[in-house]
Structure 1
Amino acid sequence: MAFIHDVLQEPSYGWKNADGQLSKPTPKQLFSEFFTRLNIFKDKKNWLSFMSWAMVLCLAPFLFLFLFKYFSIKGLIIAFVYSMMVMGTHGTIWYHRYCTHGAFKFRNNFWRFVTQNLTLKIIPEEIYAISHHVHHALSDTPGDPYNAQGGFLYCFLADANHQPVNRNLEEKGFNRCITLMKHTGVTCNTYAQYKKWGSIANPFHMILGVIVNWAFWFTVFYLLGGIGIACALFGAAGFWAVGVRTFNYEGHGKGEDKRREGVDHNRKDMSINQLWPGIVAGEWHNNHHLYPKSARSGFKPHQVDSAWYYIKFMHFIGAVSHYHDSKKQFYKDYIKAAPAVLSAEPVFCPTTGKQIFATEVI
C-alpha cells in the first residue's frame, strides 16, 4: 500500500487535512495548482501535463472552423458519433480495460499498435493508467486522484493536479511503474531519464507518436470527406477530450451516494451504472468496480457493451489471444433466483388430501 499512496505526485494542498479526512481545496487552490503544473518554463518536468492540455488547445481551432466555416448537418452527425461512440468506446477498450487492467491480451504487437491508434491520440497512457490503479485501490478515499467528494473541479483538473507520477520515486518504485506500463508499448525512460524529465514515458517518442497519429488520421479524414469532415472529426475529438474529464465526477455520484438497489451491486465505493456512458462507450462503472479485470462490464441483457464487442471480435479473428469475462461470476454472486410468489388462496395437497395455504409447511 505504501507504493499506491506514494506513486502519484501529491498536490500542494495534500490528500488529507489535519483530521485525516479528504483535503477539499478551494477553486483558487485548484487553479493555482493547475497552472503551476502546466508551467514548462519553470520546470520541464511538467511536460506531460502541459502536453495533455496543449493537445486539447490544438484541436479547438478545428472545432471552430467546422462550426463557423464548414458546418453541415451531415458533419455534425458524424462528429457526434465519432466523439461520443468511437472515441468513448476506444477509451474504454484501450486506456481502461487494456492499459490499466490488462483484461485481455493481444496476439502480437501489431494488433496492439492498431488498437492503440484506432482514433486520435489525445490522452497519454501514463497519466491514465498508473493513476487509475490508485483510483481503484483508494476509491472515494483520500488519495483517490479524482475523488468526486472533492467537487467538480477536483475531478476535472485531476490529470494535471493529481494524476502525474511522483517525480521523487526511488528506483524500486520507478521499476514498479515500468511494470505497470510495459505491456502498453509505450517507450519508457531509463531511471536517469526519469530523474531528468519526471515521467515514465519518453518525451521524444511520445510527441513523435502523437504527430504521426494526427497526420495519419487527418489525411484519412480529408480523403474520405474533405476539409470539412476532417475539421469536424478533429474538433469532435477535442470536445471528447474535455468531456471525458467530467466522467469520474458523474460516475461516482457527484460525491453523493446515488447507488440504486438491484442496479449498483458494488457497495465498496460510490460508483454507479449510468445509461449514457454504458450505451455509447460500454462503461457500466459500478459493474466495472465489481470486476475491474473483466473485458466485459455490460453483464445484464440491456447493458450494451461496445468495447466488449470489439474485444470479442478481435478474439474471433485471432488478434486477441486471451480475455477475462466475469459475466458468469456476476450472475452467480449478485443475481439470485427470484423468490416464488406465495398464493393467499388454499391449494389441494395430493399427499394429505387436504387444502393448505402456500405458506404452510407440508
Structure 2
Amino acid sequence: MALFDHILEPPSYGWKDAEGNLVKPSNSAIFKEFRSRLNIFRDRKNWMTFTSWIQLACLLPFLLAFLVFHFSIGLFAVGFVYSMILMGTHGTIWYHRYCTHGAYTFKNNFWRFVTQHLVIKTVFEEIYTVSHHVHHAKSDEPGDPYNANAGFLYCFLADANHQPINRNLSAEEYQRVVHLMKHTGVTANSYEAYKKWGSIDSPGRVLLSWFLNWTFWGVIFYAIGQYALDGKGIALLCTMFGSAFVWTLGVRTFNFEGHGKGKDKRVDGVDYNRKDMSINQIWPGYVAGEWHNNHHLYPASARSGFLPYQLDLAYCYIKMLHIIGGVDSYRDSKKQFLEQYRNPYTAQKKAINADVKELVEQD
C-alpha cells in the first residue's frame, strides 16, 4: 500500500488536505492542471498525456467526415456496434481484466498480441494499468485517480491530471512499477530512460505501435468497404475511426457513472460490494461485460457477470480463447460470489418473507 500512496504523479492541488480529506478542486483548477499536463514545451515528460489527447483529436475529423459526407442508418448502426460493443468489450478484456488484474493467462505471445490489437488502439497500457491498481487500492478515497466524489471533470480529465506515473520514483520503486506491467508485453525503459521521459514506455515504441495499428485497421476497413460494400471504402473507414472517437471520449465518463456520480446508488440484491460506491449498471454490463460492483468484489475474476441476466461478453471471449487453446487458464469467481453473497441474501429474504407470511396468517 505504501507504494500506491505515491505511485502516481500528484496533481498541483494534491490528493487530500491537511486533515486527510479529499481535495475537490474547482473546474478552473482542473483545467489549469490539464493544460499544464499537456504542455510538452514546458516538460517533455508530458509526452504521453499529450500524445493521448492528440490521438483523440486525430479521430475527430473521421467522425465529422462521416456525419457530413457518409452518414446512413446502416453505417450508423455499424459504427454503434463497433464503438459501444466491440471497443467496449475489448477494453474490459484487455486493459481491465488482463493488463491490470491478470485474470487469465495467454498460451503464447501471439494470442496476447492478437487480443491487444483486436480494435483501433486509443488507450495506452501504461496510463490505464498502473492507475487502475491505485483505483482499487483507494477506491472512493483520497488518491483514487478518478474519484467520483470530486466531480465529473475530475474523472473526465483523469488520464492527464491523475493517472500518469510519478516521475520521481527511486530505482527500486520504479522496478516494482515495471513489474506491474511485465505481463502486458510493454518493453520497459531503463531507469535512466524513465528519468528522461517520465514513463515506463518510450515515445518511439508508443508512436510506432499507434501508427502500425491504425494503418492495419485503416487498410482492413477500406478494403471491406471498397470490395464488400460497393465502393464505400472511405465511408466505412470514416465510420469506424469516427466511432472510435465516440468510445474513446465516452469511456472517460465511465468511472464517474460507475461509482454513482459521487452518491450512494447501490441497490440491495444487485450491488453486494459495500466497501465502495461502485454499482452494477445494465448498459455497460451488456455492451462491455462491465458489472462494476461485481468486479470490485472479485477484481481478479475473468468473469464479472455472475447472475443469469448479467451477460458478460468479455468473459465469452476469454472462454472462447480457452476452448481453442489461446488462453491457458483463467479465474472465475462465480461460485464464490454465489456462496458468499447471493445465496445468503436469497436465504435471508426467504426467511423474512416466511416470517411476514406467518404474522399475516396469525392476524
- Percent of counterpart pairs with the same letter? 62
**Counterpart of 2:100?**
100
- Tell me, in whole angstroms, the C-alpha distance in 2 between the residues paired with 1:343 and 1:283: 36
Does structure 1 residue 298 correspond to structure 2 residue 309? no
Cα shift at 1:329: 0.3
- Tell me, in whole angstroms, the C-alpha distance in 2 between the residues paired with 1:176 and 1:119: 30
Q: How does 1:196-215 map to 2 (within 5 A)?
A: 196-215=196-215
Q: How does 1:1-362 map to 2 (within 5 A)?
A: 1-225=1-225, 226-336=233-343, 337-338=346-347, 339=350, 342=354
Long gaps (5+) in structure 2: 226-232
- Tell me, in whole angstroms, the C-alpha distance in 1 between the residues paired with 2:158 and 2:96: 16
Please report the RMSD computed on the Cα atoms of aligned residues, expressed in angstroms: 1.6
1:114-139 CA deviation, whole Å, 9 max, x = no partner?
Answer: 00000011100000000000000000
- Tell me, in whole angstroms, the C-alpha distance in 2 between the residues paired with 1:70 and 1:233: 12
Cα shift at 1:19: 2.1
- Tell me, in whole angstroms, the C-alpha distance in 2 between the residues paired with 1:165 and 1:344: 55
For 1:260, give the aligned amino acid: V
Cα shift at 1:345: 9.8
Cα shift at 1:344: 9.4
For 2:309, give the aligned amino acid: H
For the pair shown, which has the larger CA radius of gyration, 1 or 2?
A: 1
For 2:308, give the aligned amino acid: P
Matched length: 349
1:205-258 CA deviation, whole Å, 9 max, x = no partner?
Answer: 111001000000000000011110110100000110000000000000000010
1:27-80 CA deviation, whole Å, 9 max, x = no partner?
Answer: 010000001000011111000001111110000000000000111111100000
- Tell me, in whole angstroms, the C-alpha distance in 1 between the residues paired with 2:201 and 2:177: 10
- Tell me, in whole angstroms, the C-alpha distance in 2 between the residues paired with 1:343 and 1:292: 36
TM-score, structure 2 as length reference? 0.94
Long gaps (5+) in structure 1: 347-356
- Tell me, in whole angstroms, the C-alpha distance in 1 between the residues paired with 2:307 and 2:187: 38
The verdict on how the C-alpha distance between 1:345 and 1:323 changes in structure 2, with shifts beyond 3 A counting, is: closer
- Tell me, in whole angstroms, the C-alpha distance in 1 between the residues paired with 2:355 and 2:36: 68
The verdict on how the C-alpha distance between 1:18 and 1:227 changes in structure 2, with shifts beyond 3 A counting, is: same
1:69 partner SS? helix
**Counterpart of 1:351?**
none
2:143 partner SS? coil
Q: Contact between 1:264 and 1:272, CA under 8 Å: does it hold in 2?
A: yes
